[in-house]
Amino acid sequence: MDSRVADECPPKPAPADRRGEVEMVRLVGAAWVPFNSTYWPLDPLARSFVLVHPDPVTGTPRARNLSEIP
């Protein structure tokens, strides 16, 4: 990932329930544009699988998350 993303999009504070912000971006021209922003648990026992794919109608990226949290 390009280090400019971290500089241009500083992370928001995590909520009190121990989640971290995750933002997915794509390069459009010369600008990084977010296409998904959410919070994920900061639990070492949690497992997640993220599928990123282009939307068949618009062509923009989509993200699907499958999580297992004990």
Tokens of 32: 């990084």
CA 31 to chain centre: 17
Q: Tens of pLDDT along the chain (70 residues)?
A: 454 555 555 555 555 567 788 888 888 899 998 888 888 878 778 788 888 888 889 888 988 877 776 6
Q: Whole-prediction pTM value? A: 0.57
Residue 44, domain extent: 3-68
Report DSSP letters for 5-67, one per residue. HHHHSPPPPPPTTTEEEEEEEEEETTEEEEEEEEEEE--TT-EEEEEEEE-TTT--EEEEEEE
Integer Cα distance of 66 and 20 in angstroms: 16
Tokens of 43: 């639990």
Total count of domains within the chain: 1
